[in-house]
Amino acid sequence: MPQTKSFAVVGAGIIGAAVSRELLTRYPEASITIVEKEHSAAAHQTGHNSGVVHAGLYYEPGGLKAKLCRRGVELLKELAVSRSLPYEECGKLVVALDPEEEQRLENIFERAQANGVPGISMLGPDGIKAIEPNATGRMALHSPGTAIISYAAVTDALIDEVRLAGGDVRFGCTVERIEELATGVRLHTSTGQIRADHVIVCAGSQSDRLARGSGASAQPSVVPFFGQYFQLEESYRTILNGLVYPVPDPKYPFLGVHLTKRVDGQMMVGPNAFLSLSREKYRGLGLDFKDLGEVLANTGFWKFAARNMPTAVREARTVISEQFFLKEAAKYAPSLEGAKATRLTRGIRAQAMDADGKLLDDFAIDYREHATHIRNAPSPGATSSLAIAEYIVDSLARKSIA
């Protein structure tokens, strides 16, 4: 590879950091510049999530999510060991409460087997109690390899490696527009122009705007959904050994309230999923008129909303009432009845939606001649981040870009 080959990476979340590190690992003579509008890494989705390392239970066998999730787990674990990052295989139970959920759980088990998830098993009530004495249910899928980590710490470690390898990281630099040229790209930023042979855009909630601005398709568009977490009071931090999740309901587009242990030992309940009034405001009302205006002008969103009114009603109750939120969690851990919890900073999911109002389920990557846009990387995006980086750099190499 010529020494003058240059890459720009937009976004210093976990995927942007992983892509930059992968490029420098494969092509140590390349010039890499990470451009990030915030003044630190992992400022948005990466730093506002549950920290779960997903094992690959739910995803369509053969899809990108399934393949990259399983590979991502391996790579994350290797990185955590090599960099002494907290990584705990605390395990997870997906719990069915009624016969209808049992059938859906059996289907998930079959998917997990097809995806090669190691160590999984189906448990009855006694098996549930053996794993989680404070949990209850008719049946559960046990995934012992599901783990927890700090994705912000992972991102910081990746950024450190990029810098040590000679990469340039520019914080406080907003990309306003990407201009594709005959022989590369020009990034128009708040601090000046940056030229590169190729740019990989890992911009999360801003991905559709930067894609449109560089001439890529207007679809899919990003519709933000917020997820609220609560931290249980200190006396409940040991109520579970690991994670307890509900069985996903195909009538609803999001998972539902679950119990999640963090690497610092605290126990969280959440998240719900409700339309966010902004893409990047995490406190208070979180209103951004530009962001909200784009959603309200999106005909696809109204099609989505019309199909999902029951979801909106259900989730609205968890937004309005903390006690309703905790009551939902107590269905799986009855000793939570009457517990108190502290509202944490919300997370915002950058969910890609097509013109018909359908949520994109799989990862979506748009390759142009001199620009690669990650258009959709929802959960398990963080789990899959190192594998997504491999996949993108492999794709660029096949196109003789890298």
Q: How many Å apart are CA 384 and CA 342, to the nearest integer?
A: 30
Quote the percentage of the chain above a pLDDT of 90. 82
What pLDDT does 4 receive?
66
Collapsing DSSP to helix, strand or coil, 31 comes out as: strand
**Is residue 402 predicted with pLDDT exceeding 60?**
no
**Is residue 370 predicted with pLDDT exceeding 80?**
yes
pLDDT per residue as tens digits for the range 24-82: 999 999 999 999 999 999 999 999 999 999 999 999 999 999 999 999 999 999 999 99
Strand order in the sheet with 168-171: 168-171, 31-36, 6-10, 198-201, 371-376, 364-367
Average pLDDT, the chain: 93
pLDDT confidence bin for 317, thresholds 50/70/90:
low
Domain covering 223-353, topology:
D-Amino Acid Oxidase; Chain A, domain 2 (3.30.9)
Considering the chain, tell me which residue range(s) the CATH 3.50.50.60 domain(s) occupy: 6-46+152-220+361-398
How far is residue 85 from each of residues 31, 102, 158, measured CA to CA in Å? 28, 36, 12
Structure tokens at 126: 């006694």
**Is residue 284 predicted with pLDDT exceeding 90?**
no
Q: Is the CB of residue 122 less than 8 Å from the CB of residue 107?
A: no
Quote the percentage of the chain above a pLDDT of 70. 96
Q: How many Å apart are CA 107 and CA 105, to the nearest integer?
A: 5
Q: How many Å apart are CA 358 and CA 188, to the nearest integer?
A: 32
The structure's pTM equals: 0.95
Q: Which of 195-199, 316-320, 334-338 has the lowest mean pLDDT?
A: 316-320
**CATH-assigned architecture of domain 6-46+152-220+361-398:** 3-Layer(bba) Sandwich (3.50)
pLDDT per residue as tens digits for the range 165-198: 999 999 999 999 999 999 999 999 999 999 999 9
What is the mean pLDDT of the segment spanning 376-386? 96
pLDDT confidence bin for 321, thresholds 50/70/90:
low
Considering the chain, tell me which residue range(s) the CATH 3.30.9 domain(s) occupy: 223-353
What pLDDT does 255 receive?
77
The angle, 0 to 180 degrees and rounded to 10, between the axes of the packed helices 64-83 and 151-164 is: 70
pLDDT per residue as tens digits for the range 211-268: 999 889 999 999 999 988 999 999 999 999 999 999 998 777 677 789 999 999 999 9
**Count of CB atoms situated within 10 Å of the CB of 310:** 11
Burial class (CB in 10 A: 0-12, 13-18, 19+), 275: middle
pLDDT confidence bin for 308, thresholds 50/70/90:
confident
